[in-house]
């Protein structure tokens, strides 16, 4: 169960791979390509440009994976509401019943990424653990 | 306090009236123009067209007014997260602390409206009352 977040995320990414783009790559390679950006990579991203639809979709997948992994672990249905402006300001919430189990604000969603693969894994599991903790604290 | 929702809503609408379009109209007239549609009016709205940005904004104002009125009544900070597809499918949630106090799904946001002014008033107050009830039920 330790890697529940990351296995859910790769499942989501592969499920959306309509054209077989990722078929020949391994899981870690795909997730790195999508979510890992070094400081050097970040410098290449223009600040002023409108945020890319693909980037918004990739961010959504992170929170959808939190929701799905939460469901797998607790059996409680979960959903994601996300809003994002063209400038990369936004917010994503994961909701279980009446409880907001994950809450993330974006000020610069263009650059939403992780420095290393291990960071992605660790951050994801941490968000998932937090979500479950919050749910247990507030549930009736 | 009985009309807290409607006074908040008209305050929001007037605050966004940058060009004085509404300046010479009274509150009820403005709210009717924005939110009251008869069955006949609804028949005139094309189903296939993309949803209008103005309509999305008007819907957001309803939920922002719930949030603001909730704050006025309880002193608890509130926020809105709303997502809406071009086809008029979407969801709006009002969140107080970790609790989803209002939750609304849209399947046909093009047509989101009220049949009479009294319906708008009544529905708004009902959503507000529900929000407070849910908050009191879940708060720690």
- In tens, the pLDDT along B27-49 reads 999 999 999 999 999 988 887 88
Of all residues in chain A, the percent with pLDDT exceeding 70 is 99
Of A13-17, A114-118, B98-102, minimum mean pLDDT range: A13-17
pLDDT band at A113 (very low <50, low <70, confident <90, very high): very high
Contact A115, A39 (CB under 8 A): yes
Report whether pLDDT(B20) > 80. Answer: yes
**Nearest CA-CA partner of A33 in A9, A3, A65, A64:** A9
Q: Which residue has the tokens 């609304």?
A: B104
Cβ(A89)–Cβ(A28) under 8 Å?
Answer: no
Percent of chain A topping pLDDT 90: 79
**Residue A96 CB coordination number (10 Å):** 23
pLDDT, tens digit, for every residue of B49-62?
889 889 999 999 99
pLDDT at B38: 92
For residue A76, the model assigns a pLDDT of 97
Q: What pLDDT does A45 receive?
A: 85
| pLDDT of A2 | 65
Q: What is the pLDDT of residues A53-108, one digit of tens each?
A: 899 999 999 999 999 999 999 999 999 999 999 889 999 999 999 999 999 999 98
Q: Provide the mean pLDDT of chain A.
A: 93
- Compare CB distances from B98 to A82, A91, A138 and report the shortest one's residue: A138
Cβ contacts (< 8 Å) between A103 and chain B: which residues?
A: 95, 98
| CB atoms A138 and B140 under 8 Å | yes
Query: Which member of A82, A83, A100 has the closest CB to residue B98?
Result: A100
Maximal C-alpha separation, chain B = 48
Q: What is the pLDDT of residue B2?
A: 65
Q: What is the mean pLDDT of residues A29-42?
A: 94
pLDDT at residue A100 in the model: 98
The torsion angles phi and psi of A104, rounded to 5 degrees, stand at: -135, 125
């Amino acid at each position: 169960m330790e890697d529940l977040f990351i296995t859910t995320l790769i499942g989501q990414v592969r499920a959306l791979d309509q054209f077989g783009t990722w078929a020949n790559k391994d899981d870690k390679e795909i997730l790195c390509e999508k979510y890992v950006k070094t400081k050097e990579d970040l410098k290449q991203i223009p600040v002023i440009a409108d945020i890319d639809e693909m980037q918004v979709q990739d961010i959504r997948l992170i929170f959808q994976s939190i929701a799905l992994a939460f469901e797998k672990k607790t059996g409680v249905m979960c959903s994601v509401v996300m809003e994002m402006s063209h400038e990369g300001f936004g917010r994503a919430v994961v909701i279980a019943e009446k409880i907001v189990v994950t809450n993330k604000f974006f000020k610069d969603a263009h650059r939403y990424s992780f420095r290393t693969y291990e960071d992605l894994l660790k951050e994801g599991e941490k968000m998932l653990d937090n979500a479950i903790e919050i749910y247990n604290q507030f549930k009736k």
